[in-house]
């Protein structure tokens, strides 16, 4: 019972914050709004910790706290309850969401204090947290879908927060609709699962998940998981539905940190991990996931190389990192995927907040070509940013190193992995190191290219404190899940992470696992190669972008077509617009014009014209001349009499 209350408080506290701020949305007092919102999330955070502690106290196999509130939809065999569950997976997500969320709320107080819509902003943010909590806590796919769409809605509202800018409003709409495409597939996936297994509850589904692998592409499990994965590509910005995420940077920067880096975009990964037995049973789907993940990781990284907007660089980096997570779950390394989800949440939130701090200092300037040398002005931001940078490029013993390395290794060694997947992953890592270093170099290092009128200044404590906390987490969080090989090397550090998740992760079938054997030395070698290449690329980028800028310019000049291709993001948006959206709109107009106006209505009008013209014809008989009328009478008489005579 007290669990139930705890979960209720956890859920309702952000909702309450949303309502409080929502009803006084006109207020411009950022202190009250920010305090209410931050407190609300902090309360949730505290609840999350309490729940986590309770979970720890339970034996490993039965670590599950459920709270059943009411029956939501009951019809036929469908029983969906407003029930929530905290287990190994969702408790981690809870801590990330509420923890990082609270920090970002705190950061927002400083960041948004000058904005007129600050109260509205905080209410949206709280509402987002509420929906995100429903997403991770829901005990069935439908309850998850509630949060799934809810966070999409919040994302829509927050991307279009500065709605008077048409482009930003359009970006919000784009995000929502792209997500909807995924959601439609998600719905189909749910239906297939429900009709096959008769339930949508995660635990029941996982228990029912077949243990034999499904070979067919059109099998129910494969199809269902593929559909769910398409849903995940929408939410988690994977090929082909990633296009919304870079545009989503139109929203306030803390939003980008919270929604578009740390929490919402990882929902797809979370969903797959939640249903991991189902996905394990569908090797074809897993293959697709791994390929899409790897391809996204590389492609987004290549685009990231040429971006000049600080947030766009981070956005593509997010897409790329999410690609890693999918790569991980695609090869069956669910734990590694989850781990990267967490570390990424820390360091990417850190970097986004850092960029927010920079943008704040630069008075809304986001172009890194107009920055440089900010190290002097923003020491705290710079320092914490370095921590995030080291984490993301996989510098040894930073958090990103552990998670990324584990993913790379698994993509190679897992029975569902492949050397090419490793190559793609490593390539992504190299590119990541390059563009992140470029970002650092152009923003913080080298000579200042800052406009004379702008005087950068360090941010207030509300903004720096979250940076510092996240910086610390980015450094140390990797140690809770030290990969096997490194643990050996460092003296048998237990992999707490794997132990924690083990009960809820279904391992790949034994036969498959036994079919591949890898040695520790292979792992060291691959690790060495990838880290070495990444470090080389980072150093190269450092040199190019601080000392020898002409190299970059010359390269861009000599590889003009490729540069243009990357600069225009492979023209994906253009292709979508040219091939789908514009023709659709045009054809809709034709459809309306031809079918509604020219076929259906014309038929109606022809029918009515026949009646009208017939009436007009008969009307001439009715000319008002009474003598003519009398004639008709006599004519009628003649006809009748003739009939009588003829008979």
Partner 1 sequence: MNIGASSSILSLIIFLPLLFALVISFWPQRQTLRELALGFSLIQLAVSLLLLRDFDSTTAALQFTEQFTWIERFGISYFVGVDGISLMLVILTTVLMPIMILGSWKSISEQVKGFHVALFVLQSAMLGSFLAMDAILFYVFWELSLIPMYFIVGIWGGARRIYATVKFFIYTMAGSLLMLLAIIFMMRLTPEVTGGAISASLLDFYKLEIPFIAGDFFTPQTLLFFAFAVAFAIKVPLFPLHTWLPDAHVEAPTPGSVVLAGVMLKMGTYGFLRWVIPLFPDASSHYAWLFIALGLVGIIYGALVAMIQPDMKKLVAYSSVSHMGYVILGLFVMNVYGMGGSLYQMLNHGISTGGLFLLIGMIYERTHSREISKYGGLAAAMPIFTIFFIIVTMSSIAVPLTNGFVGEFLILMGAYQYSFTASIFAVTGVILGATYMLWMVKNIFFGPAGEIVKASEHDPEHRLHDMSKREIAVMLPIVILIFWMGLFPNTIMDYSKQSINHLLQNKQNYSLEVK
Partner 2 sequence: MSMDAVLFWFLSIVVIGAGLSVVLMSNPIYSALSLVMTMVGVAALFATLNAYFLAGVQLIVYTGAVMVLFVMVLMLFDLKRELQAFSRGKITGFFKIAGVGVLAGLLVGVITFTTQKTSLIAEGSPLAADIAAQAASGADNTKILSENLFLKNILGFELLGVLLLVIAIGVVALSRSKGGTHARD
Partner 3 sequence: MLETSMFSEIGLNHYLVLSALLFTIGMAGILLRRNLIVVLMSIELMLNAVNISFVAFSKYNMNSEGQVMVFFVMTIAAAEAAVGLAIIVSIFKRFKEVNIRFFEHLKG
Binding site for partner 1 (CB under 8 A): 25-26, 70-76, 78, 82, 142, 145-146, 148-150, 153, 156, 160, 163-166, 169-170, 172-173, 176-177, 180-181, 183-185, 187-188, 190-192, 194-195, 584-585, 587-589, 591-592, 595-596, 599-601, 604, 608
Task: Give the nearest distance from C-beta 196 to partner 1 in angstroms.
Answer: 11
Please give the Cα distance from 505 to 144 (Å, whole number): 19
Task: Give the nearest distance from C-beta 604 to partner 3 in angstroms.
Answer: 25
Q: Residue 641's binding partner, choosing from partner 2, partner 3, partner 1, none, with beta-carbon cut-off 5 to 8 A by kind?
A: partner 2
Show the CA angle centred on residue 539, arms to residues 536 and 543, nearest 5°.
135
> Binding to partner 2 by residue 646, rule CB under 8 A?
no
Closer residue to partner 3 (CB): 75 or 621: 621
What secondary structure does DSSP assign to 434-499, as a single string?
A: HHHHHHHHHHTSSS----TT----PPPHHHHHHHHHHHHHHHHGGGGG--HHHHHHHT----HHHH
Please give the Cα distance from 24 to 34 (Å, whole number): 13
Identify the bridge partners of residue 590 per DSSP, sorted by sequence position.
Answer: none
Task: Give the nearest distance from C-beta 603 to partner 3 in angstroms.
Answer: 28
Secondary structure of residue 138 in the 3-state scheme: strand
Q: Residue 169's binding partner, choosing from partner 1, partner 2, partner 3, none, with beta-carbon cut-off 5 to 8 A by kind?
A: partner 1
Closer residue to partner 1 (CB): 271 or 463: 271
Closer residue to partner 2 (CB): 510 or 644: 644
> Binding to partner 2 by residue 207, rule CB under 8 A?
no
Q: For residue 394, how many C-alpha atoms fall within 13 Å in the half-sphere facing its CB?
A: 32
Both tokens assigned to 99: 């923890």
**Residue 600 CB coordination number (10 Å):** 11
What dihedral do alpha carbons 106, 110, 111, 115 form, nearest 10°? Answer: 110
Task: Give the nearest distance from C-beta 616 to partner 3 in angstroms.
Answer: 10
Secondary structure of residue 79 in the 3-state scheme: strand
Closer residue to partner 3 (CB): 211 or 627: 627
Closer residue to partner 3 (CB): 70 or 643: 643
Interface residue with partner 2 among 55, 606, 628, 629 (CB under 8 A) is 628
Q: Residue 32's binding partner, choosing from partner 1, partner 2, partner 3, none, with beta-carbon cut-off 5 to 8 A by kind?
A: none
Stretch that binds partner 2, among 31-39, 66-74, 282-290, 630-638 (CB under 8 A): 630-638
Name, in order, each residue with C-beta under 8 angstroms of 513's C-beta and a sequence gap of 6 or more.
Answer: 415, 507
Identify the bridge partners of residue 67 per DSSP, sorted by sequence position.
Answer: 84
Closer residue to partner 2 (CB): 447 or 647: 647
Q: Residue 624's binding partner, choosing from partner 3, partner 2, partner 1, none, with beta-carbon cut-off 5 to 8 A by kind?
A: partner 3
CB burial readout 134-167, b (16+ within 10 A) else e: bbbbbbbbbbbbbbbbbbbebbbbbbbbbeeeee
Task: Give the nearest distance from C-beta 117 to partner 1 in angstroms.
Answer: 9
Please give the Cα distance from 181 to 186 (Å, whole number): 9
Site for partner 2 in 566-625 (CB under 8 A): 625
Number of residues located near partner 2, criterion CB under 8 A = 12
Closer residue to partner 1 (CB): 164 or 212: 164
Closer residue to partner 2 (CB): 167 or 641: 641
Task: Give the nearest distance from C-beta 631 to partner 3 in angstroms.
Answer: 6
Both tokens assigned to 474: 């980015």
Closer residue to partner 2 (CB): 212 or 623: 623
Closer residue to partner 3 (CB): 529 or 633: 633
Q: Residue 153's binding partner, choosing from partner 2, partner 3, partner 1, none, with beta-carbon cut-off 5 to 8 A by kind?
A: partner 1
Please give the Cα distance from 434 to 448 (Å, whole number): 21
Task: Give the nearest distance from C-beta 611 to partner 2 in angstroms.
Answer: 28
In the complex, the residues that contact partner 3 under the rule CB under 8 A are 619, 622-627, 630-631, 634
CB burial readout 61-93, b (16+ within 10 A) else e: eebbbbbeeeeeeeeeeeebbbbbbbbbbbbbb
Q: Where does this chain bind partner 2 (CB under 8 A)?
A: 625, 627-628, 631, 634-635, 637-638, 641-642, 644-645
């Amino acid at each position: 019972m007290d669990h139930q209350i705890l979960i209720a408080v956890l859920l309702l506290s952000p909702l309450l914050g949303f309502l409080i701020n929502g009803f006084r949305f006109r207020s411009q007092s950022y202190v009250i709004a920010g305090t209410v919102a931050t407190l609300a999330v902090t309360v949730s955070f505290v609840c999350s910790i309490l729940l986590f502690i309770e979970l720890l106290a339970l034996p490993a196999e039965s670590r599950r706290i459920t709270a059943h509130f009411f029956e939501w939809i009951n019809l036929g065999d469908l029983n969906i309850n407003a029930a929530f569950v905290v287990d190994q997976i969702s408790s981690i997500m809870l801590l990330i969401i509420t923890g990082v969320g609270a920090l970002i709320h705190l950061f927002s107080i400083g960041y948004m204090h000058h904005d007129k819509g600050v109260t509205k902003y905080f209410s949206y943010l709280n509402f987002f947290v509420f929906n995100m909590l429903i997403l991770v806590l829901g005990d069935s796919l439908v309850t998850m879908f509630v949060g799934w769409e809810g966070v999409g809605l919040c994302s829509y509202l927050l991307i279009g927060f500065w709605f008077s800018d048409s482009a930003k409003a359009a970006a919000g709409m784009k995000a929502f609709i792209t997500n909807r495409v995924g959601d439609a597939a998600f719905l189909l996936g749910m239906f297939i699962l429900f009709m096959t297994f008769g339930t949508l509850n995660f635990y029941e589904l996982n228990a029912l998940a077949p243990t034999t692998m499904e070979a067919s592409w059109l099998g129910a499990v494969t199809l269902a998981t593929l559909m769910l994965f398409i849903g995940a590509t929408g939410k988690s910005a994977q090929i082909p539905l990633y296009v919304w995420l870079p545009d989503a940077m139109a929203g306030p920067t803390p939003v980008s940190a919270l929604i578009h880096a740390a929490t919402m975009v990882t929902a797809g990964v979370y969903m797959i991990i939640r249903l991991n037995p189902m996905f394990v049973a569908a090797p074809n789907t897993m293959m697709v996931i791994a390929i899409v993940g790897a391809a996204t990781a590389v492609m987004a990284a290549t685009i990231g190389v040429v971006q000049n907007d600080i947030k766009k660089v981070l956005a593509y980096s997010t897409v790329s990192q999410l690609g890693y997570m999918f790569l991980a779950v695609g090869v069956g390394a669910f734990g590694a995927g989850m781990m990267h989800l967490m570390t990424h949440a820390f360091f990417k939130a850190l970097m986004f907040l850092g960029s927010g701090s920079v943008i704040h200092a630069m008075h809304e300037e986001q172009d890194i070509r107009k920055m440089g040398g900010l190290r002097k002005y923003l020491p705290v931001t710079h320092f914490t940013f370095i921590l995030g940078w080291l984490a993301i490029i996989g510098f040894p013993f930073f958090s990103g190193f552990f998670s990324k390395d584990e993913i790379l290794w698994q993509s190679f060694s897992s029975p569902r992995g492949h050397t090419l997947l490793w190559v793609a992953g490593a390539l992504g890592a190299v590119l990541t190191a390059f563009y992140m270093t470029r970002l650092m170099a152009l923003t913080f290092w080298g000579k200042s290219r800052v406009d004379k009128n702008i005087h950068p200044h360090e941010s207030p404590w509300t903004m720096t404190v979250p940076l510092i906390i996240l910086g610390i987490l980015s450094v140390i969080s990797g140690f809770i899940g030290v990969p096997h090989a490194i643990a050996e090397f460092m003296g048998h550090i237990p992999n707490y992470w794997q132990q924690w998740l083990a009960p809820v992760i279904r391992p790949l079938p034994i036969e498959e696992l036994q079919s591949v054997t890898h040695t520790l030395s292979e792992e060291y070698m691959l690790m060495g190669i990838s880290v070495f290449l990444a470090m080389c690329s980072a150093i190269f980028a450092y040199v190019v972008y601080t000392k020898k800028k002409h190299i970059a310019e010359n390269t861009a000049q000599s590889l003009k077509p490729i540069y243009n291709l990357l600069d225009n993001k492979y023209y994906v948006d253009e292709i979508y617009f040219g091939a789908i959206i514009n023709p659709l709109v045009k054809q809709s107009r034709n459809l309306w014009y031809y079918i509604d106006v020219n076929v259906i209505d014309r038929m109606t009008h022809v029918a009515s014209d026949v009646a009208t013209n017939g009436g007009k014809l008969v009307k001439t008989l009715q000319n008002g001349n009474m003598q003519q009328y009398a004639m008709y009478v006599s004519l009628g008489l003649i006809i009748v009499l003739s009939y009588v005579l003829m008979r």
